[in-house]
Amino acid sequence: MHHNAKVISANTYAGYPTIMTLQELEAMREYAHRDPHAFWLKQAERIHWYRKPTQTFSGSFEGDVSIRWYEDGQLNASVSCLDRHLAERAEQVALISQREGRQDIEKITYADLLARVCRVAHALKSLGVEKGQRVAICLPMVSEAVVTMLACARIGAVHVVLFGGFSAEGIAERLVDSGAVAVVTANAAYRGPKLIPFKETMDEALQKSEGAHKVRSMLVVRTTNENVSMQHGRDHDFHEYIKGFATEFTPVIMDAEDPFFMLYTSGSTGKPKAIVHTCGGYLVWASYTMGMIYTHQRGDVLWCTADVAWITGHTSVLYGPLCNGGTTMISDSLPNYPVPGRWWDLVEQCKVTMFFTAPTAVRALMAEDDVVVKRRDLSSLKLLGVAGEPTSPDGWAWYHDVVGQGRCPVIDTWWQTETGGPILGAIPGVQSLKPGSATTPLPGISMSLIDQNGSVVEGSGEGGLFINKSWPGQARTIWGDHERFRQTYFTMVPGRYFSGDAAQRDDDGYYWLMGRMDDVINIAGHRLGTAEVEDALAEDHRIVESAAVGVSHGLKGQGLVVFVIVRKEAVGEVTEKTVSDLIVSKIGRYAVPESVYLVPDLPRTRSGKIVRRLLRKIAEGHTENLGDLSSLNDMSVVGMLCERVKKQKASS
Ligand code: WTA
């Protein structure tokens, strides 16, 4: 327990332009608790409505589970992000786009961004994209990604942003599942020194799923000089195609509960699932959470380094900042390429005031000498943030002391694709901080910890992390599989949303995340289901069985280790490399295993269930204290595996 954790008083940041006092924050919490209807109607005023809602939450976590917010409201998200700001900030920069290796940094004003969005909206319409249809976007971190997402919002199409690290198979599966009718991708893009063949991968995905996908057209952004083959009639050069269209487009009016976007993420069972967010609730939530934590003021530049293909890329890069009239920045630069501390150059150059990244990036940056940070002028920074994984107290301290020079609050926010925006996180300069803790729930959120006996933990303690009541940004369903949605999140403890995480709460009510309770691992901030890996390997008939586990990894947080039993006839033919390549080709580069062990057997219970807890320990080399082995079917397997791991580690 974290009873003796360091506390950093809010007074430390006396110069921080806070949005409220601690008393006001407490009053806000109390108000949200006492009159949630009034509280959430008030938060809804943060965005533009064509028809203002009179309702807030309706639905239930019980039975079939239905979640609806602001149901009689009507809006178009792009209006809240763009049109609404024109009167006051048409010439203010909305989006800064920086590309590695290019001299010019693109600065796009609100007026310009709206014009670009309208052009692309027309282009998508002319390709036959209708309201409610899905558009897959697979792009590097370029301005066209933001423009296309907003263009989808403008015409009421549902964007499905796909991660550039997915393999062709991974993309194919998602194109088929989402029923996307159009694709926007790039020809190719550099990630550091590596050329990522976006178009080629997309072509392969479409070919693999021929007959099953519904994609009719593709816009290709030329982000590099690479030539790619274009299929006549289907593929178009993005900028060529949009050129002639008008820079005004009447927004399509959406009902609050119309689908807004979907995002694929991993769960503990095989297939990746598309989490569905809807227009009204999501946008209020994005605006509210980012308004509370990333408190945009004139002149602020928010740089959230998250890829647009993640929920943080949606909420913290795009919808949150633009709803709040801020300046947001995207960049395709890597933290330490081509020079150590590359990101600090960009902070200095673009005068970033609020910097938000993943703990995994903090660890990578921390691995360099402090001189790398100190050589840069980071005086523009006033706020630092992290999300996506637990941050260790020493990583937090380095970020705070070296990067922030002790001046900037470090806000650790806990959230999920399913929560739409931060759930846990401190109001900067208002609440005390504790290094390594994601602090407390935002006003309006009620959480609980529930122990193994199903009892609610009161006060300090430990348990599964649940959210007791709906919030506007909550995911509504899993695309095409509402039953899975209900099963995954609402059956563990009926009437409450189960996050899948375990956490501790200290005497001050601060939360400390302890990682996932299910078979989901978190590799450098990317969620991966171990079952996803096992299912991919099961498709190879030479493999009898496999078990994938997450082990702790100094840089990535967690790494993947796979144990594989190869069919006798194929021993010698299937190597560690074959297995590794297979995973990369079925899932994507981010899933590349740290180690592969080819083994004759796995530890099992008498009923034949693989004991993963044990495999994890063995893979991490913690072989001295394996706990009680008496429930195993064959204890000798354990000794054999320990030997195998030790030997392979020594030889590599
Ligand atoms: C983990 C990312 C500790 C957690 C925004 C969660 C965190 C999963 C934190 C969701 C944090 C996220 N501290 N762990 N501040 N934030 N997580 O959907 O296990 O990609 O369930 O959303 O990341 O990952 P997702």
pLDDT at position 477? 98
Q: Is 364 in the pocket of ligand 1 (CB under 6 A)?
A: no
pTM for the whole structure: 0.94
pLDDT at position 433? 98
Residue to mutate (ligand 1; options 415, 488, 523; most atoms within 8 A of CB): 415
pLDDT at position 35? 98
CA–CA gap between residue 298 and residue 300 (Å, rounded): 6
The CATH H-level (homologous superfamily) assignment of domain 524-651 is ANL, C-terminal domain (3.30.300.30)
Q: Ligand 1 mean position to 414 CA, how many Å?
A: 6
| DSSP-assigned states of every residue in 441-479 | BPTT--EEEE-TTSPBPPSSEEEEEEE-S--TT---EET
Q: Which strand (E) or helix (H) includes residue 554? A: none
Q: Is 421 in the pocket of ligand 1 (CB under 6 A)?
A: no
Return the closest-CA partner of residue 625 out of 613, 634, 633, 637.
613
pLDDT at position 607? 77
Q: Ligand 1 mean position to 387 CA, how many Å?
A: 7
Q: Is 263 in the pocket of ligand 1 (CB under 6 A)?
A: no
Map residue 182 onto helix, strand or coil: strand
Sign of CA dihedral 166, 170, 172, 174: negative
Return the closest-CA partner of residue 455 out of 493, 489, 491, 508.
493
Q: Is 360 in the pocket of ligand 1 (CB under 6 A)?
A: no
Q: Which atom of ligand 1 is nearest to the CA of 516?
A: 19
* CATH label, 10-503, candidates 3.20.20.70, 3.40.50.12780, 2.60.120.10, 3.40.50.620: 3.40.50.12780
Mean pLDDT by 10 residues, the chain (652 residues): 83 94 98 98 98 98 98 98 97 98 94 98 98 98 98 98 95 97 98 96 98 98 97 98 97 98 86 94 98 90 97 98 97 96 97 96 94 98 96 93 97 98 98 97 98 96 97 98 96 96 96 91 91 91 94 93 94 95 94 96 85 91 82 87 91 83
Q: Is 467 in the pocket of ligand 1 (CB under 6 A)?
A: no
Map residue 98 onto helix, strand or coil: strand
Atom 7 (ligand 1) nearest CA: 389
Which residues lie across from 367 on neighbouring strands?
A: none
pLDDT at position 356? 97
pLDDT at position 2? 67
CA–CA gap between residue 501 and residue 511 (Å, rounded): 12
Map residue 169 onto helix, strand or coil: helix
Domain ranges of the chain: 10-503, 524-651
Return the closest-CA partner of residue 507 out of 454, 424, 425, 434.
434
CA-to-CA dists, residue 502 to 24, 37, 41, 459, 513, angstroms: 30, 30, 32, 16, 6
Atom 3 (ligand 1) nearest CA: 390
pLDDT at position 1? 64
Residue to mutate (ligand 1; options 262, 389, 396, 552; most atoms within 8 A of CB): 389
The Cα diameter of the chain in Å comes to: 74
pLDDT at position 622? 86
pLDDT at position 381? 98
